[in-house]
């Protein structure tokens, strides 16, 4: 019974996402040259489209593979000069999406740090310093 309920909820969520994605603007597109994490999901390098789903949610879809991720976001007051950018936190060789800044798509949001990112941040703080990495968007 629980499995049927889970499948039904998954199907409803997919239909809801499909409906909202058609209603939204084109979003932003970026080619990310490294694997990165959004929430607790590891996404491979490639070209991605990021759109606003519903209030405080973004949808990240790969152009190369049938991969997508959802993430909650918070509004951000930062502005992106020259079109837009994605901001990643880097800890060693691991990248975590931190911000999506694109004025032309009205998408200036911050991705909250996941439990995984917080744990890795603490581990890396003992070893090395962290840094931010930027990727241009179209």
- Sign of the four-CA dihedral 54, 39, 59, 111: positive
Q: Strand pairing of 85-91 and 94-102?
A: antiparallel
The fraction of the chain above a pLDDT of 70, given in percent, is 77
- pLDDT averaged over every residue in the chain: 79
Residue 19 confidence class, pLDDT cut points 50, 70, 90: very low
Terminal-residue alpha carbon distance, the chain: 45
For the stretch 22-70, pLDDT in tens is 344 578 999 999 999 998 899 999 999 999 988 889 999 999 899 999 9
Within 10 angstroms of residue 86's Cβ, the number of other Cβ atoms is 25
Token couple for 4? 């049927």
- Angstrom distances, CA of residue 132 to CA of 95, 96, 121: 9, 9, 12
């Amino acid at each position: 019974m629980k499995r049927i309920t889970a499948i039904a909820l998954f199907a409803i969520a997919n239909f809801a996402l499909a409906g909202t994605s058609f209603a939204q603007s084109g979003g932003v597109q970026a080619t990310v040259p490294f694997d990165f994490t959004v929430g607790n999901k590891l996404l491979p390098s490639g070209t991605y489209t990021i759109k606003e789903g519903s209030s405080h949610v973004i949808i990240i879809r790969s152009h190369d593979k049938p991969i997508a991720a959802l993430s909650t976001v918070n509004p951000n007051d930062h502005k992106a000069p020259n079109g837009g950018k994605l901001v990643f936190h880097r800890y060693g060789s691991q990248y975590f999406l931190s911000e999506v800044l694109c004025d032309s798509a009205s998408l200036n949001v911050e991705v909250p740090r996941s439990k995984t990112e917080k744990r890795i941040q603490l581990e890396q703080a003992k070893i090395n310093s962290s840094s931010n990495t930027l990727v241009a968007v179209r």
